[in-house]
Amino acid sequence: MGFANQKERLSPLTGAQIREYGENGYVLLRGGCSHDLIDAFNAHIYTIRSSDDMPDWAKPRAGVVVSPADRFSVRLFNPHRHDGFALQMMKLPVIRGALAQLMGGEACGVQSMYFYKEPGSKGQAAHQDYYYIQNEPRSMIAGYVALERIDEDNGCLRVVPGSHKLGLLPHGAVRNKEEHEPWTDETEGVDLSREIPVVMEKGDILFFHELLVHSSTRNRTKDRWRRSYVCHYIRHDSEITQREDLKKKIRLDD
């Protein structure tokens, strides 16, 4: 799938897709980002993390000597604040357009994360993004760009369709620490047997609601990574209410 002109990029979702998002809490936009752009972005991030002169903002762990294992396993948090390429990836016209269609108004970026998820690494237990990033009025949507094929073998996202209609659910301790990272919290009070995998091809973009229950599983492959670029957005008239580190809003139309 491709978008031939600016008008298509700023209105990439069909009416059926918008209704699908309202019903299920997520929608998958196939081929939203070109392979050439993704290859350039992956190479750019690799160059930053492999450099002997890695800038402080890109280091995996603040104040800690960078180890070979950390360079390409620990996520890169909020690169859009320091790196022009990461900022432009957050502001892709196709993402801006889809968000405006889903939110009913212009969106602003508040957070970005470049995930590696190397072979063997654990996933994140079921959760709702609003639990970690509260905003009012509620409007947050995640834009998840697949930077390579993402499937059940290398730990794709799993979602509970329609769970965004349940409101904010309680979260407690992670139950399966063999499958999931122990430092997060896990959603309680939802039937996780209803989870389904979201298989994505390189260049696909998944948009999902801040209250959608979702998780990821362990990367069970020996030689495949699961790189992705995930940004969170709120409508222009919303504000982050608790996280001081995420209160700066990035306009997408600059």
What CATH number does residue 193 fall under?
2.60.120.620
Q: What is the pLDDT of residue 4?
A: 55
Domain assignment present for residue 136? The answer is yes
pLDDT tens by residue, 98-130:
999 999 999 999 999 999 999 999 999 999 999
Indicate whether 247 pLDDT > 80.
Answer: yes
Gap between the Cα atoms of 26 and 23, Å rounded:
8
pLDDT tens by residue, 144-185:
999 999 999 999 999 999 999 999 999 999 999 999 999 999
State how many domains the chain has.
1
Residue 62 binned pLDDT confidence (cut-offs 50, 70, 90): confident
**Please, what is the angle between helix 15-24 and helix 93-103, to 10°?**
60
pLDDT tens by residue, 194-219:
999 999 999 999 999 999 999 999 99
Domain assignment present for residue 17? The answer is no
Tell me the torsion sign for CA atoms 233, 140, 77, 13: negative
Give the structural domain span for 243.
70-251
Tokens standing for residue 137: 């009025």
Higher pLDDT, 84 or 6: 84
Domain assignment present for residue 9? The answer is no
